[in-house]
Structure 1
């Protein structure tokens, strides 16, 4: 395996993150509850992790600001345009699998 510098690792990780965010912005048909049930994280988790990283670096970023970075628009706007009601089965699955820190 090629040895990567710390800078290369950071750059490649950042590129992969940007691609993931772009992919999730395009796939508005995939609901957050689906992501949580299948993968244990969702767009909101990503925005929380982003905000945590900013705060660790001494940058004050609000929940709304970090969500807008991930969603590409204000969260309420994304919800109005894309969020659908989850079925009772999806809600039950979420409650059964839900990470306790959410």
Structure 2
């Protein structure tokens, strides 16, 4: 397992800190091998990291997964993703 290039920081509660675009791009390069974000990915990621609600409507292959994966890498703690489309496909 690769060690994260960024130090672990707690950005929850009163110690909330802003994670800059450069740090987010560094995570993107390190973990996923991409050099830049596509479309509105960065805007969605910044919304999530700042504690705002975010709704992402993107086509298949549009990069929705990164919109929760990057914040999960940038923050400490547990990330819970609710995906209603997964359940019906797992039924026998």
**TM over 0.5, yes or no?**
no
Return the index of the structure with the highest Cα Rg: 1
Name the TM-score, length of structure 2 as normaliser.
0.29
Higher helix share: 1
